[in-house]
Amino acid sequence: MRIVTVKMPESYIEAIDELVRLGRFSSRSEAIRAAVRELLRKELWGSNTEYEYVHRKRGKVPKVLSIDEEDLI
């Protein structure tokens, strides 16, 4: 995994910390990954369990990749 720095309102951080405190997630990172995963499912991949998306890497011709749900965790 890569590290990404994100700025967000203090109220979001407090809410994420509450989810961690309640045991819903083990860390802030896990909670944020879950939120991003849901956004990508909704906006890009639909509701299938196997997702296809277009991947463009270093100017190469785009490839269509399939990823399993375990890859998103």
Predicted pLDDT of residue 47? 57
Over residues 47-67, mean pLDDT: 52
Q: Which token pair is 49? A: 């369990």
- Higher-pLDDT residue of 72, 44: 44
Q: pTM of the full predicted structure?
A: 0.63
| Closest of 61, 71, 3, 67 to residue 32, by C-alpha | 3
pLDDT in tens, 9-49: 999 999 999 999 999 999 999 999 999 999 999 888 875 55
- Higher-pLDDT residue of 39, 50: 39
